Amino acid sequence: MDTGDGGQDGVGARADERTDGVRLSRRHVLAGLCGAAGLTMVPAMGRFLLPAATAAGVVSVTLELDQVAGQRPERSMGFSFEKNTLSTPLFSATNAPLVALFRLLGPGVLRLGGNSVDRVTFDADGPGSTAGVVAPPDLTRLAAFADAVDWQIVYGTPFLFSTAAQVRDEAVAATAALGARIDAFELCNEPDLYVLDATAKPIAGTPALFNARWQSFADEIRTALPDAVLCGPSTCFITFAKGFTNAFATTHAGSFSLLTQHYYRGFGFGSQTIDLLLGPDPDLDAGLDALRATATAGGTTYRLAETNSFANGGQPGVSNTFASALWGADLCFKAAENGAAGLNFHNSGAGLGYPAIVTVNGVVTQIRPLFYGLLLATAAGAGPMPPIQVTGAESTLRVHAVQPSSTSVRAVLINTGAEAATIDLDVGREVTAATVARLLGPSLAATADVTLAGATVGIDGSWTPAPAEVAPVTGTRVTLAVPAASALVVTVTVVAAPPVTTTTSSTTTSSTTTSSTTTTPPNPTSTSTTSPTSSTTADPGSPAIAPAAASPAQAVPVAPAFTG
């Protein structure tokens, strides 16, 4: 989707305007596609309120530690920016505020693409810092930024108006500058919309044209970079996950390593509401199921490579509110629970829309509530996600959990409803400590005064969380209060489970019977029923947020250890 209000770091032409005079208005394209597909805009939905309290007035939450229902991988957090930001000073190792903000979210993946990808050319001899042109100095600057923040790069290449040889040359130059920082090359952006664009349609607007062009570009890149990792197709509509995205995966099996899909709750025009944003989305549920099935069948994984609340830069009064923080945090976990490798929140633009970090001319000017939701998700860490049973709550109470080690689990509780909830959290093992960090805002509609762990995030990337709140524990249980329109992450430390003793061999003779046994501690990654693609084990005593140390040459604010 487009940035809506300034694709190039809040300055310049809209990202849905082509320099050749042909405008692809995403408003009209998406509306037209809805009509072509027989789809309609979803009306605003009322939020489900927490039900009348049970007899004890308590919601029961039970975690099954050492069992695996899902996996939250390392580097699941990500941002997506328009590619035309590469010629600006935004992604520079000397941009200390942006470096600090990225480091707060931990190692992640930065995707550079969007609508501007087909309007940015590559000049191997260019001086850099030229609008609409990427040159080697821009790539060198990006590489230094990636190293400073320890993020990988999904690098978008042009598709519609470039030749395969030109794309190959750009990929070679990007690899020379970025090396192992390149996570994948993304060869197109939202090709399911080409059919609605008079300029794109004769180039790649049919399945035959698109597939032939994509494969020729992929083959050309691999003539120069045999080990290049490719991803696609970055389909716009998640409702097309079963159609366009699945067909791409089948046609190009073996040619790509990462399936990519975009997701927005709706379109950023009209009267989108907070109720709609926080309400259920059946299209997302069905889309994630389809993506997981397609990726699993092809032996790959998938990523929501571009996502945010509402397309076209977001809906003012919704996308820039505290509600977006609760929505964004919930989406991070929901995607992981459904097998996603991660997701990238689209962040270009500077209007009253969806950017989590607002920048103008490369300067950070505002931290929006969404950033706090992503920081809350970061606090939960990576690792296996245990099964959860919830009794006594409707869909306004969302519960997620990550077990980073055999003696530590972090549960995330998100209450989007109008009533407070009291939670009886049972982890099934004796609890030795439980600490809480809360995500709070004045109201769902608030655009300021949001805090996580009692502290705000500065535009310089500074964040000083307050001492962790200690939650009351009894045996295997933790009691938690979750106010209306708020969220929290609770870090629970438990005693180690008894070792598992199994007989590994047995020998019987005429006079004796002998056996050998092996005693091993339980491993939450070894009892998986869902075969996670990767596992991460962390020291339970390590902070939930611990940015990597800055290089000596950089004055980057580093957040203190956060144990909530």
Cβ of 82: how many Cβ atoms within 10 Å? 26
The DSSP secondary-structure symbol of 23 reads B
Q: How confident is the model at residue 498 (pLDDT cuts 50, 70, 90)?
A: confident
Supply the mean pLDDT for the chain.
84
- Number of helices (H), then strands (E), in the chain: 11, 27
The mean pLDDT value for 351-368 works out to 94
The arithmetic mean of pLDDT across residues 247-268, rounded, is 96
Could you give the strand order of the β-sheet that contains 473-474, starting from the edge strand earlier in sequence?
A: 388-391, 59-63, 421-426, 477-482, 473-474
Encoding tokens for residue 308? Answer: 């945010």
CA angle 308/16/319 to nearest 5° reads: 25
pLDDT of residue 500: 56
Q: Are strands 451-452 and 500-508 parallel, antiparallel or unpaired?
A: unpaired
Confidence bin at 140 (pLDDT 50/70/90): very high
| Residue 56 pLDDT | 46
pLDDT for the residue 18? 32
pLDDT of residue 270: 73
Instruction: Tell me the mean pLDDT in the region 49-69.
Output: 72
Other Cβ atoms less than 10 A from the Cβ of 389: the count is 11
How far from the centroid of its chain's Cα atoms is residue 142's Cα?
20
List 563's β-bridge partners, or say none.
none
Q: How many CB atoms lie within 10 A of CB 150?
A: 15
Residue 564 above 50 pLDDT? no
Q: What are phi and psi of 470, to 5 degrees?
A: -95, 125
pLDDT band (50, 70, 90) for residue 352: confident
245 neighbors 233 (Cβ within 8 angstroms): yes
pLDDT in tens, 185-222: 999 999 999 999 999 999 999 999 999 999 999 999 99
Mean pLDDT of 219-229: 98
Q: Are 390 and 397 in contact (CB under 8 A)?
A: yes
- As a whole number of angstroms, the distance between CA 21 and CA 24 comes to 10
**Within 10 A of 35 (CB to CB), how many other CB atoms are there?**
10
pLDDT at 523: 55
Q: Which residues contact 109 (CB under 8 A, 6 or more apart)?
A: 75, 77, 78, 151, 152, 153, 154, 183, 303, 342, 344
Give yes or no for a contact between 81 and 135, defined as CB atoms under 8 angstroms apart: no
Closest by CA to 363, choosing from 13, 554, 88, 128, is 88
Contact 423, 58 (CB under 8 A): yes
Structure-token pair, residue 392: 């006594």
The pair of three-digit structure tokens given for residue 557, joined into one six-digit string: 């604010």
Predicted confidence at residue 493, as pLDDT, reads 98
CB 549 within 8 A of CB 561: no
Whether 557 has a pLDDT exceeding 90, the answer reads no
- Residue for token pair 């069992």: 67
User: 């990929």: which residue's tokens?
Assistant: 171
Q: Is 84 exposed, middle or buried (0-12, 13-18, 19+ CB in 10 A)?
A: buried
Q: Is the model's pLDDT at 36 over the cut of 60?
A: no
Q: How far apart (Å, rounded) are the C-alpha atoms in residues 301 and 64?
A: 25
HSE-CB of 200 using CA atoms within 13 angstroms: 25
Lookup result for tokens 């191997």: 124
Query: What count of other Cβ atoms lies within 10 Å of the Cβ of residue 227?
Result: 6
Q: Is the pLDDT of residue 79 over 60?
A: yes
Work out the burial of residue 196: count CB atoms within 10 Å of its CB; fewer than 13 is exposed, 13-18 middle, 19 or more buried. middle
Q: Dump pLDDT digits (tens) for 88-100.
A: 999 999 999 999 9
CA distance linking residue 466 with residue 318, whole number of Å: 28
pLDDT digits (tens, 9 = 90+) for 449-492: 999 999 999 999 999 999 999 999 999 999 999 999 999 999 99
- How far is CA 206 from each of CA 33, 133, 191, rounded to the nearest angstrom? 15, 29, 10
Question: Residue 1 has what pLDDT?
Answer: 54
Q: What angle do CA 460, 461, 463 make, to 5 degrees?
A: 120
Query: Could you tell me if 449 and 483 are in contact, meaning their C-beta atoms sit under 8 angstroms apart?
Result: no
Two structure tokens written together for 18: 């082509």
Type and span of the H or E element at 482 = strand 477-482
Distances (CA, A) of 172 to 184, 224, 254: 13, 7, 21
pLDDT of amino acid 250:
97
Radius of gyration of the chain (CA): 24
The CA-based diameter of the chain, rounded to the nearest angstrom, is: 93
- Judged against a pLDDT cut of 90, whether residue 268 lies above it is answered with no
Judged by DSSP in three states, 519 sits in strand
Q: How far apart are alpha carbons 564 and 557 in whole angstroms?
A: 20
Residue 436 has pLDDT above 80, yes or no: yes
**Entry pTM:** 0.85
Cβ–Cβ under 8 Å, residues 425 and 478: yes
Strands (E), 285-351: 301-311, 340-346
Angle, CA of 222, 223 and 224, to the nearest 5°: 85
What does the pLDDT look like over 275-333, one tens digit per residue? 999 999 999 999 999 999 999 999 999 999 999 999 989 999 999 999 999 999 999 99
Residue 223 has which token pair?
A: 């003539």
